[in-house]
Amino acid sequence: MSLTIYHNPNCTTSRNVLRLLQEAGKAPTVVEYLKTPPSRARMQELLAAMGMKPRDILRRSGTPYDELGLDDPALTDDQILDALEAHPILMQRPIVATDKGVRLCRPSERVHEVVDL
């Protein structure tokens, strides 16, 4: 089974999910998305697999969300994707992708929806 976690080691929730995976004997591919952000195409694939829109994964705290005016309801999905590409810190985390599906694992327990632990 393929298993990838889009991870931020500075995030408690992300660290918890990675720990849950490792304690269960899983060996996920760890993508530190701040160092290696997913491509726009990959981001669109992840969003489609989660049934979410770009706005749904925006993070406000500790990001340039407010200064970029991302709360403007007139912004299109493409404009929000542009912001996510330019500022990967805007992405909620962790996102876990497996053959069973893709989930934004907030709270951490959501990982159980796509990984048998």
Please report, for the domain that includes residue 59, its CATH number. Answer: 3.40.30.10
**Annotated catalytic sites, by residue?**
11
Range of the domain at 102: 3-113
Long-range contacts, stretch 13-16, CB < 8 angstroms, 24+ apart:
13/93, 13/94, 13/105, 13/106, 13/107, 13/108, 14/93, 14/94, 16/108
pLDDT score for 101: 97
The string of pLDDT tens digits covering residues 38-86 is 999 999 999 999 999 999 999 999 999 999 999 999 999 999 999 999 9
Domain count, the chain: 1
User: What average pLDDT does range 1-27 have in this prediction?
Assistant: 96
Global model pTM greater than 0.85: yes
